[in-house]
Structure 1
Amino acid sequence: MDIDTMVGMETMADREPRPRPCPAAASLELLGERWTLLAVREMRYGVHRFEQITRFTGASRDILADRLRKLEAAGVVERRQYSEHPPRHEYHLTAAGEEIGPILQALAQWGQKWGPGGTAEFAHDCGHPLDAVSVCRHCGEPVDRASLRVSPEPTG
């Protein structure tokens, strides 16, 4: 594209600001409440019983029950009964829930570098500390801001 074409183009920053449809925003409607991702984290670690999830997350019983109900309704977790008397259930991630794993890993990696941190460190099977990056499954190239395209473009 030549400079004459670029001069007449409207950029995203030039458009009238307004909320735009966004899959990240839609995902945060479900996953963005406090304790939700921590409950998913515990299930990824193999913790499935309500009492254990409560203890490992620090969430109150009422709040955790609410978050698990929402995750179940959205198809992210499923309840499995493990006791009839009294009725008791475990919570397991569905395929949709398992796909949250890279999000949690990215948050943990960011927190280790920029946030308040924590003591957990992750390593890959190869033995090296995990340094997860986003890559395109089609071409294998890294995904960064310069290579990302939004479709359809917001109109304004």
Structure 2
Amino acid sequence: MTDIHRADAPPAQRPGAAHDLDELSTVQLVERLTDQVSGLVRTEVTHALTEVKDRGTRFGIGAGVSGAGVLLMLYGFGALVATAILGLATALDPWLAALIVAAVLIAVGSVVAAAGARRAKNALPPVPERTANSVRADVDTVKEGLR
């Protein structure tokens, strides 16, 4: 740690001391404010980037695992579709059985795709909410300090 932050430093060297601020010129106070605001902005940007990266990583892993599951389910549904066509083909012509099963699959698939698109649209944009709230709190604190 620097001498400014050490506990055994003289009180005049600690940055938060009231009489220390009385001894600083306006230029020094503005420089200190600029440094503190710059540090705060850098910290908030770093937190926002970290939050977005974490969300992106979690999303990527979840999408990969879900994709593997969907592929396996696709093969299973393919086998079920073939079974349904063969089952209907015992009572109807094979082409008619395949047409009926295809029409049902297209109708159900359309409904599911529309529901998925609606959910995906509601999930965007991936805003770093905690960081945005923290920045708002920082701005409110600065506004209160200026009054």
TM-score range, shorter chain: under 0.3
Q: Which has the higher contact order (CA 8 A, sep 6+)?
A: 2
Which is richer in helix?
A: 2
| TM-score normalized with structure 2 length | 0.21
Report which of the two structures shows the higher radius of gyration computed on alpha carbons: 2
